Amino acid sequence: MKDNFVRNAAGREVLTEINGLDATPFMGVGRYRPEGRKTAPPLASCADYPADGNKVVADLKTALENAGLRDGMTISTHHHFRNGDLVANMLFDIAADMGVRDLRWFPSASFPCHAPLIRHLDDGVIHHIEGSMNGPLGDYASAGRMRGLGVLRSHGGRYQAIQDGEVHIDIAVIAAPTSDPFGNCNGVSGPSACGGLGFALADSQYADRVIVVTDNLVPFPCVPWQIMGNHVDSVVVIDSIGDPAKIVSGTTNITRSPDRLLIAERTARFVEAAGILRDGFSFQAGAGGTSLAFAVFLRDMMRAGGIKARFVRGGSTQYLVDMLEEGLTDYILDGQTFDLAGVRSMRENPQHIHTNPFVSYNYHNKGNISSMVDVVVLGATEVDVHFNANVVTHSDGRLLHGIGGWQNCLFSKCTILPIPGFRDRIPVIVDRVTTLCGPGELIDVIVTERGIAINPLRQDLIERTRNSGLPIRPIEEIKHEVESLCGGSPATPRFRDNAIAAVKWVDGTVLDIVRQLE
Amino acid sequence: MKDNFVRNAAGREVLTEINGLDATPFMGVGRYRPEGRKTAPPLASCADYPADGNKVVADLKTALENAGLRDGMTISTHHHFRNGDLVANMLFDIAADMGVRDLRWFPSASFPCHAPLIRHLDDGVIHHIEGSMNGPLGDYASAGRMRGLGVLRSHGGRYQAIQDGEVHIDIAVIAAPTSDPFGNCNGVSGPSACGGLGFALADSQYADRVIVVTDNLVPFPCVPWQIMGNHVDSVVVIDSIGDPAKIVSGTTNITRSPDRLLIAERTARFVEAAGILRDGFSFQAGAGGTSLAFAVFLRDMMRAGGIKARFVRGGSTQYLVDMLEEGLTDYILDGQTFDLAGVRSMRENPQHIHTNPFVSYNYHNKGNISSMVDVVVLGATEVDVHFNANVVTHSDGRLLHGIGGWQNCLFSKCTILPIPGFRDRIPVIVDRVTTLCGPGELIDVIVTERGIAINPLRQDLIERTRNSGLPIRPIEEIKHEVESLCGGSPATPRFRDNAIAAVKWVDGTVLDIVRQLE
């Protein structure tokens, strides 16, 4: 172990300094207690803002100049447009034109559409990215080409880091599908409607300066004001903030793979057998093909049993919207919409509630929604025999995914990972996950096409499903079976010593690092 | 002038120290600029709150004990129940039983129903009150019987004081008509429904500890969550938090006085003559008889002219709700509901928007709603010939009213005070207001039964209404006429030297003081 590495409570070698700041190694779930008070933005005076509420300025460059953009600042953006975002690239092109350097880009996530920013990482405009790096930017970091260390946080961890003062945002740039001249804005209306803007909430509350960029300006008041204009310094109107075709995925479809359908069905049957499927229950499932299939199987069971959920957590899709409209749930509590049905429902249905990482996920809080959810269904790239799981790297060591709300969701009353036994002939259950993203003590059940493994810590679940007829097996047994099929365990990736990214836990401590590939 | 008094920019002698803390004298409208950052509450961890979200404790005493109630703390409550509140009295009775002393009570306002608390002011449980003191508590303070100095703030000033760290709340006790076990709560449902809970927003955001008291517990999630459970430490369920008959006034009726009706009609005609009444305009009027009559006259003009407002600011009543439902306004932006029609509308109509002092009134903000309102109609106890106005004391010097949103509303584009020339044979237009609450430069028009006076600073309004046929006269002329009718100007009240209350301006500076009556 090198000098600047220590072994944390999860047995992972982590850094005690990240990008020049002290970092606390992971101490165990719920062990680290924050001290002191939340951070806070500068005091403002209405005397310094237009009395008529019109904060519209000529263009983004003017807004950035007014906000005092200069070298070394931290600039944040959100990812509600996913792979259709047009604003982040525009923003850093302007910064480059202004001759600004060494910016820290702090997106809630980055996507392949942001690949053009590699140019500004190379030319020094952007020093490094703190935030999920999906696809090409992750690859860029994995190759050791980024100057600073990537810092990967969950949605809740990002809110926590901002709120705790761990990350100070100088300028937040919030792309908004609809805004009024005062800066009240939302994502439910307009040509670039994406649903909610919750991932930008912390940015609006805590950044020194806040710029709203919109392509749909409406008269005051813009209702609902998901982001409050009272936090906003200026408003910029441009032609288009996002590519509508890519903002919401048109391809959130149920899996057609027979194996994945089997996994989804088993997951739903497990939920039923464990006694979770009862009137007033709640669940969260993602927008992947298997998760959607799970939701559909669950829906059919709810219909058959006359069971109604109290709430369903979104990522919303047509499937969840149908359930709400059919009366199978009282509410959708939604952090982001994944299709146009979700956008429409959030706009029109008062039972489709817009949530944000503060209420849902922030761990440095007086409780949050995630731990109240009865069952959550999540993905993983790898799981080990102690139920530890990885979502950011592949078994080949490449950093290709963000954490999203995944870590936060682990706090649900029952966390289930429905995963295939192998992908591309590479086993998914391993001896040791390449990158630790979720401690095994929070992961209760693994559902594969070869059987269901229950975490020995959950004797209650083991007891309740004992006579269910479900293929419940020790995780080691499933692992060996898969390995014999695939010809052994995955090859260990070859890393250099140096870290290229840190994986934060929900409390801001360092859970693991990602190293550079050889 | 005594040692600890200085003359401020409004020419008023004010204190430079209030209850042991330095105070800044008023420097002029928009002159004082706050420095530094907002205050912030303590960091919390979900590890210290129940994972299932159930924060219900046995009773209010337990909640106060858990919150660490002790001598000298600041305890806040809100006044959305107005004269029907049952919680504040209960709270201080419990504190008395616990043997706690010298508390600072920081209500958003107090009402005659709180007269029983005089016992706890006398016996030392409460040291002093900071907040509006309507009726008996104002009388109590005026008589010099309260130990500390009363501090009178507007709704926006209260938010500003909390946000700026000027007032640190140790424990906020938030009475909520509906809550879930997590502490998400609102005022639109339940047997004690009062409409919004916006006056408790700052308390929930900034207090060290937050207790929700409800008489209507519903399963999570309580939607809408006007107060977010993520700010809440514990939830207490009691039989009744308020007397529904007194929570909303059943007597918000249009004035029947011919003089007041004349004033109301003239006010509406002035608004029309000044060109303010046009499509997309906005207005705010209170719930008093004259204001309601004004709104009705305005409504008739809007109907006749085919004019639609973009928004109307509430205090909402049946009259505003009718306008919304008739399509005469796109939105009601509502800070508090004054009758059951308002409560119902806020609960059911998505165009009836719940606002709070942060978005509406807080002056240490990046703008707020108040300055965007085209015309506001307000009351006053006294006005002087420079258009300075008083709302807290009567001409006899007694402190009988709070400031409410009055100061904040002065920032509208046109502020009109429709007032009678005299009340009980005492002239309302005076040489010098007993207590200065609003600087004359922000008050544009006085409408009386004897004529309309326009502030000379508003040459634009004078110009626009020159040929309106309205009885526009110099304010001095109206004053002399009233005085000749009443037999002279009001007798000056006889005060002692010592202050019993301070009147804060919206920026936290001291605008005036109220002295003890002889």
Write the residue in B47, B311, B367 that is nearest to A230 by C-beta.
Answer: B367
**In whole numbers, what is the pLDDT of chain B averaged over residues?**
95
Q: How far apart are CA A197 and CA A225, in angstroms?
A: 10
B245 and A CB contact within 8 Å: no
pTM of this prediction exceeds 0.95: yes
Q: Is A55 helix (H, G, I), strand (E, B) or coil?
A: coil
User: What distance in Å separates the CA atoms of residue B44 and residue A356, rounded to the nearest whole number?
Assistant: 18
Residue B83 has pLDDT above 50, yes or no: yes
Query: B428 with B381: CB under 8 angstroms?
Result: yes
Q: Please, which pLDDT band fits residue B251 given cuts at 50, 70 and 90?
A: low
How long a stretch of residues is chain A?
Answer: 518
Instruction: Tell me the nearest-neighbour CA distance from A56 into chain B, angstroms.
Output: 13
The residues near A251 (Cβ < 8 Å, ≥ 6 apart) are none
Residues 6+ apart with CB under 8 A from A484: none
- pLDDT at position A249: 67
Q: Do A45 and B33 touch (CB under 8 A)?
A: yes
Give the right CATH number for B258-498 from 3.40.1080.10, 3.10.129.10, 3.40.50.720, 1.10.540.10: 3.40.1080.10
pLDDT tens-digit series, residues A435-484: 999 999 999 999 999 999 999 999 999 999 999 999 999 999 999 999 99
Average pLDDT of the segment spanning A53-73 = 98
Q: Which tokens sit at B226? A: 């006007």
Equal CATH topology for B57-130+167-247 and B258-498: yes
Nearest residue of B to residue A366, measured between CA atoms: B230
Determine the residue of chain A that is closest to B156 in CA distance: A46
CB contact under 8 A, A42 and B37: yes
What letter would DSSP give residue B186?
Answer: E
B456 touches chain A (CB under 8 A): no
Contacts of B50 in chain A (CB under 8 A): 367
How far is residue A38's CA from residue A32's CA, in Å, rounded to a whole number?
16
Q: What angle do CA A42, A368, A16 make, to 5 degrees?
A: 65
Average pLDDT over residues B261-286: 97
Contact flag A46-B229 (C-beta cutoff 8 Å): no
The fold for domain B57-130+167-247 equals Glutaconate Coenzyme A-transferase (3.40.1080)
Cβ contacts below 8 Å, chain A against chain B, sum to 190
| pLDDT, tens digit, 9 for 90 and up, residues A319-334 | 999 999 999 999 999 9
B43 in contact with A, Cβ within 8 Å: yes
pLDDT at A383: 98
Please tell me what DSSP assigns to residue B372: G
Nearest residue on chain B to A313, alpha-carbon basis: B221
Q: How far apart are CA A350 and CA B349, in angstroms?
A: 10
Residue-wise pLDDT tens digits, B278-295: 999 999 998 788 999 999
In whole angstroms, what is the distance from residue A117 CA to residue A125 CA?
Answer: 9
Angle at B339 between CA B336 and CA B344, to 5 degrees: 85
Question: Whole-angstrom Cα distance, residue B144 to residue B123?
Answer: 15
Check whether A335 has a pLDDT greater than 70: yes
Q: What is the 3-state secondary structure (H, E, C) of B280-328?
A: CCEEEECCCHHHHHHHHHHHHHHHHHCCCEEEEEEEECHHHHHHHHHCC
**A265, B445, B492 from B469: Cα distances, Å:** 79, 16, 36
Does B206 contact A at CB distance below 8 Å? no
State the burial class of residue A119 (Cβ atoms within 10 Å of its Cβ: 0-12, 13-18, 19+). middle
How high is the mean pLDDT of chain A? 95
pLDDT at A309 over 70: yes
Overall average pLDDT of the B364-393 stretch: 97
A371 touches chain B (CB under 8 A): yes
The CA distances from residue B271 to B45, B253, B380, B463, B470, in Å, are: 53, 22, 19, 13, 11
Per-residue pLDDT tens over the stretch A81-110: 999 999 999 999 999 999 999 999 999 999
Rounded CA-CA distance A388/B7 in Å is: 69
Cis peptide before A191 (omega within 30 of 0): no
Task: Report pLDDT digits (tens) over A380-438.
Answer: 999 999 999 999 999 899 998 899 999 999 999 999 999 999 999 999 999 999 999 99
Nearest one of B380, B352, B350 to B442, comparing CA atoms? B380
Predicted local distance difference test score (pLDDT) of residue A1: 46
Q: Which residue of A has its CA nearest to B347?
A: A350
Q: Residue B422: helix, strand or coil by DSSP?
A: strand
DSSP category for residue B160: H
Contact A30 B44 (CB under 8 A): no
d(CA B156, CA B368): 10
- Give the ipTM: 0.96
Strand partners, B501: B150, B514
pLDDT value for A251: 56
pLDDT, one tens digit per residue, over B216-246 is: 999 999 999 999 999 999 999 999 999 878 8
Q: What pLDDT does residue B250 have?
A: 52
Least confident segment among A281-295, B438-452, B504-518: A281-295
Quick one: pLDDT at residue B400?
87
At A256 the pLDDT is 87
Interface contact flag, A46 B365, Cβ < 8 Å = yes
Region B44-69: what's the mean pLDDT? 98
pLDDT per residue over A341-356, tens digit each? 999 999 999 999 999 9
Which B-chain residues 296-315 have CB contacts (< 8 A) with chain A?
310-311
B13, two tokens = 């002698």
CATH of domain A34-247: 3.40.1080.10
Q: With bands split at pLDDT 50, 70 and 90, how would you rate the model's confidence at B1?
A: very low
Query: Residue B314's pLDDT is what?
Result: 85
The predicted-structure confidence for B406-437, as pLDDT tens digits, reads as follows 999 999 999 999 999 999 999 999 999 999 99
What does the longest C-alpha to C-alpha distance in chain B come to? 72
- Tell whether B27 lies on the interface with A, counting CB pairs under 8 A: no
Q: How far apart are CA B150 and CA B138, in angstroms?
A: 9
Question: What are the residues facing A130 on neighbouring strands?
Answer: A151
CA pair distance B432, B417, nearest whole angstrom: 17
For residue A250, what pLDDT band results from cuts at 50, 70 and 90? low
Q: Please name the residue of chain B whose CA is at the shortest distance from the CA of residue A31.
A: B47
High-pLDDT (> 70) share of chain A, %? 99
Mean pLDDT of B92-121: 97
In Å, how far is A228's CA from the nearest CA of chain B? 8
Interface test with A, best of B33, B43, B312, B414 (most A CBs within 10 A): B43
Percentage of chain B with pLDDT > 70?
A: 99
CATH number for A258-476: choose from 2.40.50.100, 3.40.1080.10, 3.90.1150.10, 3.40.190.10.
3.40.1080.10
Closest by Cβ to B366, choosing from A32, A34, A233: A233
Which residue has 């700010």 as its token pair? B231
Q: Residue B45 and residue A364: Cβ atoms within 8 Å?
A: yes
> For chain B, which residues make up each domain, given as ranges?
57-130+167-247, 258-498
- Supply φ then ψ for residue A341, to 5 degrees: -65, -40
Q: How far apart are CA B437 and CA A271, in angstroms?
A: 63
Distance CA B379, CA A371 (A): 50
Smallest CA–CA distance, residue A454 to chain B, in Å, is 21
* DSSP helix/strand/coil, B214: strand
When pLDDT is cut at 50, 70 and 90, the band that residue A2 belongs to is: low
Q: Determine the pLDDT at residue A189.
A: 96
- Banded model confidence at residue A133, pLDDT cuts 50, 70, 90: confident
Residues B111 and B80: their CA atoms lie apart, in Å, by 11
pLDDT at A255 over 90: no
Q: Are strands A389-390 and A382-384 parallel, antiparallel or unpaired?
A: antiparallel
**CB–CB contact A365 B228 (8 Å):** no
Q: What percent of chain B has pLDDT over 90?
A: 91
